[in-house]
Amino acid sequence: MSDRNTPYRDGKLNPVPVAARTEIFGGHMVAINATGFAVPATAIAAQMTIGVSDGYVDNSLGADGSECVLARRGKVWCFANHSGDAVTQVQVGQNCFVADSVTVAKTNDTDKRPVAGVVMAVDADGVWVQI
């Protein structure tokens, strides 16, 4: 055995191949779909939230993986609070769920919504979520 210069990333900003016919806007939650490609986060249980888009990516005319989005993790972002299933102070420290790419909800709506992240605060600006 010998020492090895192992490549690494800090894990905070990750390039992820984008799904075909997909447009992702900066500042929106990004998820991985059932085939492993990045899409805007939505209330689809098979998706897994992986971060927040660091900028706009247009793969609307491309095939799967023709473009990459930079998905940022490890921060706390403020998202809109779902009006019909609002996150409250009681949920601080617990998971919240994706309603759409800029809105989080209190419940998973009977396993329809993927986890967005952990609620860190709820205030007049919205829900502060660590992803």
Q: How many CA atoms lie within 13 A of 13 on its CB side?
A: 3
| pLDDT, mean over the chain | 96
**Band (21; pLDDT cuts 50, 70, 90):** very high
Query: Secondary structure of the chain: what % helix, strand, coil (to 5)?
Result: 0, 45, 55
Q: Decide the pairing of beta strands 76-81 and 103-105.
A: parallel
**Residue 93, pLDDT above cutoff 90:** yes
Confidence at residue 9, expressed as pLDDT on a 0 to 100 scale: 83
The pLDDT of residue 104 is above 90: yes
Question: What is the model's pLDDT at position 130?
Answer: 97
> Using an 8 Å Cβ cutoff, are 53 and 24 in contact?
yes
